[in-house]
A and B are shown apart, each in its own frame.
Chain A
Amino acid sequence: MKHIINCLVENQPGVLARIVGLISGRGYNIETLNVGPTEDPTVSKMTIVVPGDSHVIEQVTHQLSKQIDVIEVVNMTNRRHLDRELILVRVATESHNARAEIVDLAALFRGHVVSVQEDSVTIQMVGNQETVADFLCLMKPYSIVDISRTGVIAVGREAPGASAAKG
Chain B
Amino acid sequence: MKNKTDTDMSSAEKQPLRSGAQCVVDGLIKAGCEVLFGYPGGAVLDIFNCLYEAPFNFVLSRHEQGAVHMADGYARATGKPGCCLVTSGPGATNTVTGLATAYMDGVPLVCITGQVALDMIGNDAFQEADVIGITRPVTKHNFLVRSADDLPGIIAKAFYIATTGKPGPVVIDIPKNVQKQMTAALTPETVTMRSYRPDVPINEAEIAQFAELINNASRPLLYVGGGAISGNAAEALAQLAHKANIPVTTTLMALGVFPETDPLSLHMLGMHGSVAANYAVDHCDLLIAAGARFDDRVTGKISAFANKATIVHIDIDRSSISKSVRSDLGVHGYVKPVLEAVLPLVKPAEHTEWLEKVNRWKERFPFTYPKNDDALMPQFVIEQIDAVSEGKAVVVTDVGQNQMWAAQFFRYTRPRNFITSGGLGTMGFGLPAAIGAQFGRRGAPVVCVTGDGGVQMNFQELVVAVEHQIPVVVVILNNGFLGMVRQWQELFYDRRYSGVVLSQKGRAPNEQVAETSGYLPDFIKMAEAHGACARRVFKEEEVGPALREALASGKTWVIECIVAPEANVFPMIPPGAHVAEIINRTV
Binding site for B on A (CB under 8 A): 9-10, 13-14, 17-18, 21, 25, 55, 58-59, 62-63, 65-66, 68-71, 166-167
B197 at interface by CB-CB < 8 Å:
yes
Q: Which residues of B contact A18 (CB under 8 A)?
A: 136
Q: Chain B 177-206 against A: per-residue CB contact (8 Å), 1 yes, 0 no?
A: 000000000000000011111001000000
Q: Can you offer 8 A-B residue contacts whose CB atoms are under 8 A?
A: A13-B144, A62-B321, A63-B319, A65-B319, A66-B317, A68-B195, A71-B195, A166-B195
Pick from B133, B137, B141, B332: contact of A68, CB under 8 Å: B141
Q: Kindly count the residue-residue contacts between A and B in the assembled complex, taking CB atoms under 8 Å apart.
A: 41
B318 at interface by CB-CB < 8 Å:
yes
Check A166/B197 contact, CB under 8 A, given A18-B136, A21-B136, A68-B161.
Answer: yes
Check A167/B318 contact, CB under 8 A, given A14-B144, A68-B193, A71-B195.
Answer: yes
Q: Which residues of A contact B323 (CB under 8 A)?
A: 59
Pick from A9, A59, A68: contact of B196, CB under 8 Å: A68
Q: Which residues of B contact A17 (CB under 8 A)?
A: 133, 136
Q: Shortest CB–CB separation between residue A146 and chain B, in angstroms?
A: 32
Structural contact, A14 and B132, CB atoms closer than 8 A: yes
Q: Which residues of B contact A65 (CB under 8 A)?
A: 318-319
Q: Which residues of B contact A21 (CB under 8 A)?
A: 136-137
Structural contact, A59 and B319, CB atoms closer than 8 A: yes
Pick from B136, B137, B322: contact of A58, CB under 8 Å: B322
Pick from B140, B194, B322: contact of A71, CB under 8 Å: B194
C-alpha gap A10/B193 in the complex (Å): 11
Q: Shortest CB–CB separation between residue A67 and chain B, in angstroms?
A: 8
C-alpha gap A63/B323 in the complex (Å): 10
Pick from B141, B144, B193, B332: contact of A167, CB under 8 Å: B332
User: How many residues of B are in contact with the other chain, CB < 8 A?
Assistant: 21
Residue of B nearest to A60 (CB): B319
Q: Chain B 125-136 against A: per-residue CB contact (8 Å), 1 yes, 0 no?
A: 000000011001
Residue of A nearest to B318 (CB): A62
Q: Shortest CB–CB separation between residue B300 and chain A, in angstroms?
A: 20
Q: Chain B 109-137 against A: per-residue CB contact (8 Å), 1 yes, 0 no?
A: 00000000000000000000000110011
Structural contact, B137 and A25, CB atoms closer than 8 A: yes
C-alpha gap A58/B144 in the complex (Å): 30
* Given contact pairs A65-B319, A68-B195, a sample of 7 additional A-B residue pairs in the complex whose CB atoms are under 8 Å apart: A9-B195, A55-B322, A59-B323, A66-B317, A68-B193, A166-B197, A167-B332
Q: Shortest CB–CB separation between residue A39 and chain B, in angstroms?
A: 16
C-alpha gap A21/B135 in the complex (Å): 11
Structural contact, B195 and A69, CB atoms closer than 8 A: yes
Q: Which residues of B contact A9 (CB under 8 A)?
A: 195
Residue of A nearest to B137 (CB): A25
C-alpha gap A66/B322 in the complex (Å): 15
C-alpha gap A63/B141 in the complex (Å): 13
Q: Which residues of B contact A59 (CB under 8 A)?
A: 319, 323
Q: Shortest CB–CB separation between residue B275 and chain A, in angstroms?
A: 32
Q: Chain B 306-318 against A: per-residue CB contact (8 Å), 1 yes, 0 no?
A: 0000000000011
Structural contact, B195 and A62, CB atoms closer than 8 A: no
C-alpha gap A68/B133 in the complex (Å): 16
Pick from B132, B195, B332: contact of A70, CB under 8 Å: B195
Q: Shortest CB–CB separation between residue A138 and chain B, in angstroms?
A: 41
Give residues of chain B (127-163) contacting chain A, Cβ–Cβ below 8 Å. Answer: 132-133, 136-137, 140-141, 144, 161
Q: Shortest CB–CB separation between residue A147 and chain B, in angstroms?
A: 31
C-alpha gap A21/B141 in the complex (Å): 13
Q: Shortest CB–CB separation between residue A38 and chain B, in angstroms?
A: 13
Determine which residue in B133, B196, B317 has the highest number of CB atoms from chain A within 10 A of its CB, and name it.
B196
Residue of A nearest to B146 (CB): A13
Pick from B132, B136, B197, B319: contact of A62, CB under 8 Å: B319
Q: Chain B 350-364 against A: per-residue CB contact (8 Å), 1 yes, 0 no?
A: 000000000000000
Q: Which residues of B contact A71 (CB under 8 A)?
A: 194-195
C-alpha gap A18/B161 in the complex (Å): 16
Residue of B nearest to A64 (CB): B319
C-alpha gap A18/B144 in the complex (Å): 13
Nearest 6 CB-CB pairings of A with B: A62-B319, A68-B141, A71-B195, A62-B318, A63-B319, A68-B196
Give residues of chain B (324-338) contacting chain A, Cβ–Cβ below 8 Å. Answer: 332
Q: Which residues of B contact A167 (CB under 8 A)?
A: 197, 200, 318, 332
Q: Chain B 191-223 against A: per-residue CB contact (8 Å), 1 yes, 0 no?
A: 001111100100000000000000000000000
Check A66/B318 contact, CB under 8 A, given A59-B323, A71-B195, A166-B195.
Answer: yes
Q: Which residues of A contact B132 (CB under 8 A)?
A: 14
Q: Shortest CB–CB separation between residue B314 and chain A, in angstroms?
A: 15
C-alpha gap A66/B144 in the complex (Å): 19
Determine which residue in B137, B200, B332 has the highest number of CB atoms from chain A within 10 A of its CB, and name it.
B137
Check A68/B136 contact, CB under 8 A, given A58-B322, A62-B318, A166-B197.
Answer: no
Q: Which residues of A contact B197 (CB under 8 A)?
A: 166-167
Q: Shortest CB–CB separation between residue B131 and chain A, in angstroms?
A: 12
